[in-house]
Amino acid sequence: MVKRLPFIIGLILSGLTFGSLLGQFHWTLDVLSHFNLQYAMWLAVCLVAGLFVGRRRIYALALAPALIANLIVIAPFFLPFTPTASASNGRLRAVSLNIHSQDPDYNAVIDYLQEYQPDLVMVTEAEPTLMTVLDEAVGEMYPYVYDESMPGTMGLALLSRQPFLAVETVPLSDTRRRRLIKATIEWQGAAITVFGAHPLPPLNSRWAASRNHELELIQGLIAEETGPLILLGDFNASPWAYPMRELVAGTELRHAALGFGLRPTWYLERVVFGAPLDHIYVSPEVTVLSYKIGGDIGSDHTPVMADLTIYSQ
């Protein structure tokens, strides 16, 4: 039985892998797509263990299709990515922060902002208390703030070192709680459109449908835009989730992490079990100089940061 264990575990992981590719058919299958990184890692372990431990090594090769499927999905994030045009001088540092509203550590958030000094900060789960603290601690660093905070997990805020040419709240439903922030800032002589969002987590069928509907609306909004664009926030979906794949397919956006690697940004009770849910996407006019997942802000989410610039004409 012990010698067959890698094969048995591998079969389970194979089932989860292929189920994760069918998220358009049921929300529970789409949730499986949060863990393709783990599937790939453990399938590789099971395959190697099966080859060296199992009696019938040919059985271990049955795990190869699922491993290959996962590698195809995650490989673009780890393979070198070459921009199609040269970048101009200057750097715009964009960050997405999810504050753990149930147990916030505002000092850790302030320390992070002071250490990395991003130019643009999208804050999800922003509460009024946090905004007061940030105004007192880093108000001079971020003189331009669009505050859509509220108690609980639905608050949003956008902090910028650059003045807003335009900024507004875009409703995504009939209630005030479901919305996104749309702003325009000037950088290197170009107007950059910024969308910041925080769809609901897919904890049940209704919330999953709400998340998918919001991502569909965001796709339509972005399709109407021209010029440099940044989309960032906590999307409660992995890059491989069906609605995220549809969003990318329906726009010219690409994930800023392509070529820089990817790992989970959310952890269940801050342990190993996690998923990449926080993202930064950019339009073709934007070059990604670096992408970083890291920094402790006392949250169950890890900040994501991208250094960006605009393609030279």
Q: Are residues 49 and 185 in the same domain?
A: no
The reply to whether 26 and 153 lie within a common domain is: no
Q: In what order do the strands lie in the sheet with 144-148?
A: 144-148, 156-160, 120-124, 92-98, 304-310, 286-293
Across the range 28-46, mean pLDDT stands at 94
**154 & 291 share domain:** yes
Burial of 257 (0-12, 13-18, 19+ CB in 10 A): buried
Closest C-alpha among 218, 223, 224 to residue 279? 218
112 assigned to some structural domain: yes
Both 244 and 155 in one domain: the answer is yes
Averaged pLDDT for residues 67-88: 81
Q: How confident is the model at residue 55 (pLDDT cuts 50, 70, 90)?
A: low
Percentage of the chain beyond pLDDT 90 is 75
Using one digit for the tens of pLDDT, what is the confidence trace for 179-189?
A: 999 999 998 88
In the three-class reduction of DSSP (H, G, I as helix; E, B as strand; rest coil), residue 76 is classed as: helix
pLDDT of residue 269: 61
Task: Please report whether residue 150 resides in a domain.
Answer: yes
61 secondary structure, DSSP code? G
Q: Domain range spanning residue 24?
A: 5-77
Over residues 162-179, the pLDDT tens digits come to: 999 999 999 988 766 789
The reply to whether 44 and 122 lie within a common domain is no
> Helix, strand or coil for residue 302?
coil
pTM of the model: 0.92
70 CB contacts (<8 Å, ≥6 apart)? 17, 36, 39, 40, 43
- On whether both 151 and 256 belong to a single domain, the answer is yes
Read off the pLDDT of each residue in 154-160 and give the average, rounded to a whole number: 96
CB 142, CB 159: distance < 8 Å: yes
Quick one: tokens of 84? Answer: 């199609």
- Which CATH number fits the domain that encloses residue 269? 3.60.10.10
Which range has the worst mean pLDDT, 76-90, 159-173, 198-212? Answer: 76-90
120/230 same-domain check: yes
Please state the domain count of the chain.
2
The pLDDT value recorded for residue 130 is 95
Domain-embedded: residue 214:
yes
